Amino acid sequence: MDAFWIVILGTVIQAALGYFLTGLIASLIVLIIWLALVKHFFDCGWLKALVISVVAVLILIVIAFLLELVGIALGFYGSGLNQQTFFLFSHILAVC
């Protein structure tokens, strides 16, 4: 249930922040917010939150690769989706 709240709150905050800010600064702020959410909901430190987030991205890459092998492309690579959207999808897929 905690992971569900991380995804919901992170998505809402990212969307609201993305409305006002763009570029590298917005990406860094969103990254810090995602890490803070992971840190809060999983009761861990910053380093462990970073490790959890990296593992989530690795899981996304493996799932995307496996889906692509069976012919289902998620459209992450070369489709024009920005880094924030990729980060969001990585958390959603890792939670599932």
pLDDT of residue 93: 60
Q: Give the residue numbers spanning the domain of 90.
A: 2-95
| Sign for the pseudo-dihedral over CA of 28, 32, 38, 41 | negative
CA distance 96 to 92: 6
Instruction: Reply yes or no on whether the pLDDT at 28 is more than 70.
Output: yes
Report the domain count for the chain: 1
pTM, whole model, 2 decimals?
0.60
What per-residue confidence (pLDDT) applies to 2?
A: 73
Residue 66 tokens, joined: 């496996």
- Terminus-to-terminus CA distance in the chain, angstroms? 11
| Mean pLDDT over each residue of the chain, to the nearest integer | 75
Residue type, 22: T
Choose among 1, 9, 20: nearest CA to 88: 9
Mean pLDDT, range 32-56, rounded to an integer? 88
Give the pLDDT mean for 23-49.
86
